[in-house]
Amino acid sequence: MKAVDLSINQATCIKCGKCVKVCPSNIIRQDRSDEPAMVESSKGCISCGHCVAVCPSGSVIHSEFPADKVHPVDYALYPTVEQMMLLLKARRSNRAFSTRPIPSGTLDLILEAAHRAPTASNQQQVAFTLITDPAKLRQITEFTIGQFNTAAVKLTNPFLKPVLKRIMPDAYRYLKTFKRLNKEHEKGNDLILRKATAVILIHTPKANRFGSADANLAYQNGSLMAETLGVNQFYTGFVCSAINLDKHRTLEKLLGIDGTIHAGMALGIPIFRYPNYVDRVEIQVTKM
């Protein structure tokens, strides 16, 4: 963890104790309510910035958060409950893309939203690779189809089949899909990226234990921003499966990604929007 300078201005602290209550590392202390808060040890600080953000008097001095990195929140600008719920209900994985490119400023907003997602221990190791080069997008589809074809050959090999069926029975469920995807690919029908004009691959360093959770939370932030901007997206599960099948890290090498890809978003400008949303299955909640 990066060493930080953290202290509390004893002269301006208003002794509200909020920084003590919100610190996840429990390194800020206030022994008596009529005394200012003080930092016990900045060693365990994860630089989440809660203490800085919560302080009403600007008394928390943190080396990672100088004044230009601290911004007031106007809660009146939040979407209403109805607006938020409508966004969640109307967001779809819309795969009908126009050939028009997505403006780079729009892609930047989607990336910024994704980057705002929480990460375990505030590690902020999630990185993004944005691909808009049509040749590279085609390579992603071809890589995916190639991996599925290789898997299909192995799964149907009469010598390997008895063993594979026993150790990975799940894989046989996908055999039909692999064959169908390849057949469509040969006809020039891209069922992998659906002619998306952009793909965002979301990755973390290999050693990150919560990499998948962090990356997928980033995905969801980004997808909601895409929906808000009127951009179509869907989760590139096929590409992620192909990446998991490939021991040689072919796609990572091709794109210069040094880490583990956990999620991917295919994006494009819609050719139409849906006039309706439909209900999900009955919610399953256990309340205790």
Hey, is 73 helix, strand or coil? coil
Considering the complex, state which of residue 280 and residue 287 has its C-beta at the smaller distance from ligand FMN.
280
Q: Is 219 in the site for ligand FMN (CB under 6 A)?
A: no
Q: Is 92 in the site for ligand FMN (CB under 6 A)?
A: yes
- The answer to whether 152 and 178 have CB atoms below 8 angstroms apart is yes
Segment interacting with ligand FMN (CB under 6 A) among 18-26, 51-59, 75-83, 87-95: 87-95
Q: What gap in Å lies between CA 203 and CA 201, rounded to an integer?
A: 7
Which of 83, 110, 139 lies closest to 254 in space, CA to CA? 139
Segment interacting with ligand FMN (CB under 6 A) among 91-99, 156-164, 177-185, 254-262: 91-99
Considering the complex, state which of residue 122 and residue 216 has its C-beta at the smaller distance from ligand FMN.
216
Q: 127-131 and 198-204 as β-strands: parallel, antiparallel, unpaired?
A: antiparallel
Q: What gap in Å lies between CA 12 and CA 78, rounded to an integer?
A: 30
Q: What gap in Å lies between CA 242 and CA 148, rounded to an integer?
A: 7
Q: What gap in Å lies between CA 30 and CA 28, rounded to an integer?
A: 7
Q: Is 237 in the site for ligand FMN (CB under 6 A)?
A: yes
Residue nearest ligand FMN, CB atom distance: 237
- The answer to whether 115 and 126 have CB atoms below 8 angstroms apart is yes
Segment interacting with ligand FMN (CB under 6 A) among 64-72, 128-136, 228-236, 244-252: 228-236
Hey, is 230 helix, strand or coil? coil
Q: Which two tokens stand for residue 171?
A: 């894989």
Q: Is 189 in the site for ligand FMN (CB under 6 A)?
A: no
Considering the complex, state which of residue 2 and residue 173 has its C-beta at the smaller distance from ligand FMN.
173
Considering the complex, state which of residue 15 and residue 95 has its C-beta at the smaller distance from ligand FMN.
95
Among 45, 226, 234, 268, binds ligand FMN (CB under 6 A): 234
- Say which residues have a Cβ less than 8 Å from residue 96's Cβ, sequence separation at least 6: 194, 232, 270, 271, 272
Gyration radius (Cα) of the chain, Å: 24
Among 7, 93, 104, 189, binds ligand FMN (CB under 6 A): 93
CB of 229 to ligand FMN, least distance (A): 17
Q: Is 205 in the site for ligand FMN (CB under 6 A)?
A: no
Among 15, 29, 95, 115, binds ligand FMN (CB under 6 A): 95
Cα distances (angstroms) measured from residue 76 to each of 68, 80, 85, 109, 112: 22, 9, 17, 21, 22
Among 129, 156, 174, 235, binds ligand FMN (CB under 6 A): 235
Q: Which two tokens stand for residue 7?
A: 């202290």
Q: Which of residues 113-172 bind ligand FMN (CB under 6 A)?
A: none
Considering the complex, state which of residue 50 and residue 194 has its C-beta at the smaller distance from ligand FMN.
194
Compute how many residues bind ligand FMN; rule: CB under 6 A: 8
Q: Residues interacting with ligand FMN, by CB under 6 A?
A: 92-93, 95, 234-238
